[in-house]
């Protein structure tokens, strides 16, 4: 084992990222949508907490032609790390970034007239043609061009000599709700937008609507590109129909990230004693508790206080008391032999005696009344990532 990795694994808490699982998920998604659909592998938000550079390099080596990031800053970081794949800036641009975007061959998403004007000037200065993707607002009312603005934008793009409309996109508000009327309405509006583009002589080859949810369950949205994010990192969304959980075609996905720590100390606590801040947990009997060197500063949410469980000593152990900034307490009274330095799984699958036991980001998200995206993205930079 390399010394650097050994030092990390001997430390307080760390996350293990399986690039093998990431590669398998990428190929599973490609098989699902077929060879005729291009994958834009989303690595925004530091690869959903997994590490954007390392994940981007791994995906590129597996054949990913496109990577999706939030903005030019994230794109710049990937280019600085030697990533050569096409990079889509999914949330537009800021004024002053246009020269860097052109110089680094980043592909901006546009929807404002000034986007076109500033990028046209920057591309003209370098005597180049910059590919751009036009985003349509089909009803989410977040980003994108509304229907009434589309004809003018088409005229500007048609007149542009230094911009090439390579793609057109939109984003669903509730693709995981299979009978959602708003999703059908968005699809209809998107088709109407494509017709407006065609009437202006614009026929971009890359047409994309599908995030992980639509990619998983709505083949009629795939068009020529999809933008999977959470699916690449091993999580399937929960789909509903009529308010009930609904099954969709299974994607064979493996969680990419495991989060681990070690027991910092073990204490015997008498019955009737308060544990942690504000005494929100009181022992009912003589208890044995283990203190873990992880807290909300590491991204382990305070909302998990007295709710979550971890895996230690081959068993589940409940979190007791409030999660604090740097420490979390678990009850190991029912688990024999737990000692300082023992490995504890916060997110991941147990092995050996703990085989079959799992705590995943979905479980933690439900306890926090949140989504697995937030749990994964919330892992702080204080938690070192180890790439396997």
pLDDT tens, 34-77? 999 999 999 999 999 999 999 999 999 999 999 999 999 999 99
Helix intervals (H) in the chain: 3-9, 19-33, 44-48, 52-61, 72-80, 98-103, 113-125, 150-159, 181-199, 212-217, 361-367, 372-377
Mean pLDDT (the chain) is: 94
The pLDDT tens digits of the residues spanning 310-325 come to 999 999 999 999 999 9
Question: Which tens digit of pLDDT belongs to each residue from 96-117?
Answer: 999 999 999 999 999 999 999 9
More confident residue, 187 or 237: 187
| Tokens 């678990």 found at | 330
Residue 8: is its pLDDT beyond 60?
no
Residues 6+ apart with CB under 8 A from 305: 276, 280, 319, 321, 322, 323
Candidates 3.30.540.10, 2.40.37.10, 3.20.20.70, 3.40.50.80; CATH matching 257-387: 2.40.37.10
CA–CA gap between residue 38 and residue 373 (Å, rounded): 23
What residues are annotated to the active site?
A: 44, 277
pLDDT value at 85 more than 50:
yes
pTM of the predicted structure, to 2 decimals: 0.93
Measured between alpha carbons, how far is 87 from 90 in angstroms, rounded to an integer? Answer: 9
Mean pLDDT on 125-153: 97
Question: Token pair of 44, please?
Answer: 């925004």
Distance, in Å, from the CA atom of 73 to the CA atom of 206, rounded to the nearest integer, reads 24
Q: Could you state, in order of their start, the residue ranges of all structural domains in the chain?
A: 19-246, 257-387
Q: What share of the chain in percent tops pLDDT 70?
A: 97
Q: How does residue 4 score in pLDDT terms, banded at 50, 70 and 90? A: very low
Residue 221 CB neighbour total at 10 angstroms = 22
- Decide if pLDDT at 300 tops 50: yes
Q: What is the pLDDT of residue 2?
A: 41
**Domain 19-246 is found in CATH 3.20.20.10:** yes
């Amino acid at each position: 084992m390399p010394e650097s990795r050994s030092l990390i694994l001997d430390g307080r808490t760390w996350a293990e990222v399986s690039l093998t699982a990431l590669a398998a998920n990428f190929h599973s998604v490609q098989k699902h949508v077929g060879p005729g659909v291009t994958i834009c592998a989303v690595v925004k938000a530091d690869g959903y907490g997994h590490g954007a550079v390392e994940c981007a390099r791994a995906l590129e080596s597996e054949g990913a032609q496109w990577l999706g990031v939030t903005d030019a800053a994230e794109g710049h970081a990937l280019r600085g790390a030697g990533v050569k794949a096409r990079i889509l800036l999914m949330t537009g641009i800021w004024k002053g970034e246009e020269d860097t975007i052109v110089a680094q061959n980043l592909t901006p998403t546009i929807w404002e007239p000034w986007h076109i004007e500033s990028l046209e000037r920057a591309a003209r200065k370098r005597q180049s043609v910059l590919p751009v993707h036009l985003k349509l607002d089909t009803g989410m009312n977040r980003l994108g061009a509304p229907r009434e603005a589309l004809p003018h934008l088409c005229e500007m793009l048609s007149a542009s000599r230094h911009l090439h409309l390579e793609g057109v996109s939109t984003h669903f508000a509730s693709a995981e709700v299979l009978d959602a009327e708003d999703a059908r309405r968005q699809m209809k509006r998107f088709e109407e937008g494509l017709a407006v583009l065609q009437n202006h002589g614009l026929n971009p080859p890359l047409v994309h609507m599908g995030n992980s949810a639509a990619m998983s369950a709505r083949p009629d949205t795939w068009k020529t590109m999809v933008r999977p994010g959470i699916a690449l990192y091993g999580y399937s969304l929960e789909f509903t129909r009529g308010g009930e959980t609904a099954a969709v075609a299974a994607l064979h996905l493996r969680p990419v990230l495991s989060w681990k720590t070690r027991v910092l100390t073990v204490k015997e606590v008498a019955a009737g004693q308060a544990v942690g801040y504000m005494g929100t947990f009181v022992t009912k009997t003589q208890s044995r508790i283990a203190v873990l060197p992880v807290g909300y500063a590491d991204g382990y949410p305070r909302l998990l206080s007295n709710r979550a469980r971890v895996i230690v000593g081959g068993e589940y152990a409940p979190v007791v008391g409030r999660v604090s900034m740097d420490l979390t307490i678990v009850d190991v009274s029912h688990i024999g032999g737990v000692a300082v330095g023992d490995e504890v799984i916060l997110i991941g699958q147990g092995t050996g005696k703990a085989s079959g036991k799992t705590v995943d980001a979905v479980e933690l998200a439900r306890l926090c009344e949140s989504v697995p995206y937030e749990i994964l993205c919330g892992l702080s930079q204080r938690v070192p990532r180890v790439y396997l």
